[in-house]
Amino acid sequence: MSEPRTYEVRTYGCQMNVHDSERLTGLLEDAGYVAAPDDLQADVVVFNTCAVRENADNKLYGNLGHLASVKEKHPGMQIAVGGCLAQKDRTTITDKAPWVDVVFGTHNIGSLPVLLERARSLEEAQVEILESLDVFPSTLPTKRESAYAAWVSISVGCNNTCTFCIVPALRGAEKDRRPGDILAEIEALVAEGVTEVTLLGQNVNTYGVEFGDKLAFGKLLRACGEIAGLERVRFTSPHPSSFTDDVIAAMAETPNVMPQLHMPLQSGSDKVLRDMRRSYRQERFLGIIDRVREAMPYAAITTDIIVGFPGETEEDFQATLDVVRKARFANAFTFQYSKRPGTPAADLPDQVDPAVVTDRYLRLAALVKEVALAENQTFEGRSVELMVSEGEGRKDADTLRLSGRAPDNRLVHFTPVDAAGTRVEVRPGDVVTVTVTHAAPHHLVADSPVLSVRRTRAGDAWEARTTTKAAGVSLGLPTVGVPAPLADAPACG
Ligand code: SF4
């Protein structure tokens, strides 16, 4: 029997892409491929691309250029390009990089194995881009990256038309998944040991629009609260325009829905919001935050902000700074506006001078840091319950610490020793209680003894997976990280 072909998936962009890559991995493994060991060239390299970032196309063609010579030395090697950039550029990819074997779009990721096979047998590139969703991606096989936390897609696409965003053009109109299917997937995940899920949609607050239930998202959160063994529920991203109070009530009244909200602001200026075609205004945004804080006093609120949108004046920018101060964000992803080809804003007059954009960006970043630090300092001396995570503390090996996430998703690095100074054994997915000793803008430190350890089914699942992996059975984990914490990656909405 011949050796199975190996694969590598390279992922760029948002959580949606990270989750799609879990499906690509699952599909490839179902078709008999195995993950390439780290030190060996894969037979199939799949790029899951993002069109949102500036210069995304230059970077992709640079990477493809590098692979051309690698491919020459590896007969039979195949290169596939999928994701948003593929949906946008289509045949341009094979025109510019004729050594690419397969191009597939955001609507037909399920076709990848067939397209690879067809490209091999016909010895010619296969480009297949669909204009609308083929099958809801959740019905495809999935190879989950983490044993203890999982993404669960509730909708794809977006019905909004924010002028800076390419997503509606590339991902299409919103399509909602049936609540029963979502809950069945979560139950199956919990049965496998997962204790945390993040519900994923471009705009979770409009979930249900397709089947005519405006209250569907709040109901879904409450239904998650009924699932035994599910300890933490998060979601991304809500949209301030469609955020309703029943969702705040559902969050506050459902114990396993975490006190955390990542709600994109984008700008604090009503004029800029209007130009962005985002239909809420500053007052509404701050009103939602007030009501969330009233219902959940310790909720951590994070956001996305764009500076330098066309026509943004110093006064508009000051309005953004004002919201950052009032909202007391635990963190904010800040972006310098750049023209994204294919978006309406790319053609707007009054593009802001790049030097001004950079200056505002630096001032905003400094304020965000100051506010985040002040918020984090309120945690010093407080006890928090952490779910131990994997791969989140870059310096953990040097500091002998481990890392975990608090209920509100704050990242905490802790020293795993008990009161007697003995190292406590904990695994990713287990739960510990620690006392915060030090605050930094983007994390907390707990160097006092661990107060308690709870071994969980999630920790068992992590251990079972790690043991199997160590025994030499390839689990085909893709080359992307564990589900990114909400506060570490930009989201839409
Ligand atoms: S920014 Fe978010 S809400 Fe706006 S169009 Fe893009 S995906 Fe939709």
CA of 490 to the centre of ligand 1 (A): 12
* 432 band by pLDDT with thresholds 50, 70 and 90: very high
Q: pTM for this one? A: 0.84
- Residue 478 clears pLDDT 60, i.e. is over it: no
The CATH number fitting domain 6-132, selected from 1.10.10.60, 3.40.50.12160, 3.40.50.880, 3.40.50.720: 3.40.50.12160
pLDDT digits (tens, 9 = 90+) for 381-399: 999 999 999 988 888 777 7
Please give the annotated binding residues, written as ranges.
14, 50, 84, 158, 162, 165
Q: What percent of the chain has pLDDT over 90?
A: 71
3-state secondary structure of 191: helix
Query: DSSP states of 2-20 as a string?
Result: PPPPEEEEEE-SSHHHHHH
Res 469: pLDDT: 58
pLDDT (mean) for 109-122: 91
C-beta separation of 161 from 169 below 8 A: no
Q: How many CA atoms lie within 13 A of 236 on its CB side?
A: 26
Res 136: pLDDT: 67
Res 342: pLDDT: 78
- Residue 245 clears pLDDT 60, i.e. is over it: yes
- Residue 487 clears pLDDT 50, i.e. is over it: no
Range scoring the smallest mean pLDDT among 142-146, 149-153, 198-202: 142-146
pLDDT digits (tens, 9 = 90+) for 257-270: 999 999 999 999 99
Res 329: pLDDT: 97
Res 142: pLDDT: 76
* Residues with C-beta less than 6 Å from any ligand 1 atom: 158, 160, 162, 165, 167-168, 202-203, 239, 492-493
CATH class of domain segment(s) 383-455: mainly beta
Which residues have CB under 8 Å from 50's CB, separation 6+? Answer: 12, 13, 14, 17, 56, 83, 84, 85
CA of 166 to the centre of ligand 1 (A): 8
Distance (Å, rounded) from C-alpha 467 to C-alpha 471?
Answer: 6
Ligand 1, atom 4, residue with closest C-alpha = 162
Closest atom of ligand 1 to 492 CA is 2
Please give the annotated binding residues for [4Fe-4S] cluster, written as ranges.
14, 50, 84, 158, 162, 165
Mean pLDDT of the chain: 89
pLDDT digits (tens, 9 = 90+) for 435-457: 999 999 999 999 999 999 999 99
Q: Domain locations in the chain?
A: 6-132, 137-377, 383-455
C-beta separation of 99 from 79 below 8 A: yes
pLDDT digits (tens, 9 = 90+) for 68-82: 999 999 999 999 999
CA of 365 to the centre of ligand 1 (A): 23
Res 486: pLDDT: 33
Instruction: Tell me which architecture the domain covering 137-377 has in CATH.
Output: Alpha-Beta Horseshoe (3.80)
pLDDT digits (tens, 9 = 90+) for 55-67: 777 888 999 999 9
